[in-house]
Structure 1
């Protein structure tokens, strides 16, 4: 079962949203944004999910695919008897959100894609580069600072290195990675290979889809942005927002995300 953290404000909750992080992350990466949203929208509860192979959801069986990750969410909601009104996904989590929306075509659902893409592309970019970096490093470290220094030396910024180092755990007097990078590679390869354009270009009449493009990120290619713009013109159910900031908008420009979510949920 997937691990979750629930953020809600008192007993006024009427709606429930799943929040899905990106690769190498975990649900609590979105805690600050979630707390600000529910402070302004106490009618919503946000469930911050640790996706398969991440956080406290490590013991998951193959295949490690986007659709398997969406099936995990279905199992979670059924086990907890949750009625889901919305799903928000960042990066990798965005494609999982699209796969869930595809499975729930007949349900009313808000879908939020935060700097994610429905397109097929060759494996590349920051997440793919990070996979190569961690594999090039020693398998264990004497301290968190040693790990951060090694990541910085491999090309990471200090901030990204510190964030990635949250995936270390103590074992036999050393710090080692908690993550199964071979399994994550399988999940990433499927992320790049999965084509989910139809969810946006032929949207369910019961869905409302909000796409947030980080202006300083290249996660969404120029042709993809053109295609998304056409999708918004073809359907009242698809909306595109351009927000200043880099790929990690939850840390780069959280106030813009909080404003959008608070206004449109």
Structure 2
């Protein structure tokens, strides 16, 4: 669950001499190595030490507040998007009763064996495959009880707008036609011979 992870993060020192020291502290607190590696992403270098880049106490308060909120209306109410739940088999966060309720609301539930709550850190490849499979087979956005949302009744009853017929193509011109010869005559201007300048007697040298 989330509580042991938050407890380990809250009890960890504020700074560390190295990332390895931070990893060792988290693993000693009982966290899995892959989960500790994921939590190390929240460290930043500060001078010659590493410190947490997040407010750990504010994070714990956020979790406590979100745990009290009822999000079922978002799942079961009308929506314009599709949902897909990916859970870890070792995590009781989404139990079987919740899984059945999610599926009844049109939200498929995928269970990854051997993964806990932080399955994106424990089984990243399986999570990517599950999400990609859901995007590839995603249908139309679900409405109430997971049924496809009907189209707008006004838009459905509106008759289709007829398209204007395409403009007829201009008739082809043959080389022998009068129009073709006239156009050719307008395009081709008659060649003019270059005008010769008369010599200027003042500039011509005397013979």
TM-score by length of 1: 0.45
- Does 2:77 correspond to 1:199? no
1:194–1:169 distance in 2 versus 1, CA, 3 Å? same
Counterpart in the other structure of 1:251: 124
Matched-pair contact (CA < 8 Å) for 2:84–2:134 = no
Counterpart in the other structure of 1:264: 138
Instruction: Give how far 1:167 is off.
Output: 1.0
Structure having greater relative contact order (Cα 8 Å, sep ≥ 6): 1
SS of residue matched to 1:264: coil
1:258–1:159 distance in 2 versus 1, CA, 3 Å? same
Residue correspondences, number: 133
Instruction: Give how far 1:195 is off.
Output: 0.2
Matched-pair contact (CA < 8 Å) for 2:42–2:54 = yes
- Does 2:93 correspond to 1:219? yes
Q: What are the residue-to-residue correspondences of 1:2-151 with 2, within 5 Å?
A: 125=1, 127-151=2-26
Counterpart in the other structure of 2:35: 160
Matched-pair contact (CA < 8 Å) for 1:210–1:240 = yes
User: Which portions of structure 1, spanning 4 or more consecutive aligned residues, are displaced by more than 4 angstroms?
Assistant: none
SS of residue matched to 1:243: strand
Counterpart in the other structure of 2:102: 228
Structure 1 Cα separation of the partners of residues 110 and 89 of structure 2: 6
Matched-pair contact (CA < 8 Å) for 2:15–2:52 = yes
1:166–1:208 distance in 2 versus 1, CA, 3 Å? closer
- Does 2:109 correspond to 1:241? yes
Structure 2 Cα separation of the partners of residues 214 and 203 of structure 1: 27
**Structure label with greater radius of gyration:** 2
SS of residue matched to 1:225: helix
**Deviation per residue, 1:4-47 (Å, 9 max, x gap):** xxxxxxxxxxxxxxxxxxxxxxxxxxxxxxxxxxxxxxxxxxxx
Instruction: Give how far 1:252 is off.
Output: 4.9
Instruction: Give how far 1:133 is off.
Output: 0.9
Counterpart in the other structure of 1:34: none
TM-score by length of 2: 0.56
SS of residue matched to 2:78: coil
Counterpart in the other structure of 2:175: none
Matched-pair contact (CA < 8 Å) for 1:167–1:177 = yes
Q: Which has the higher strand share?
A: 1
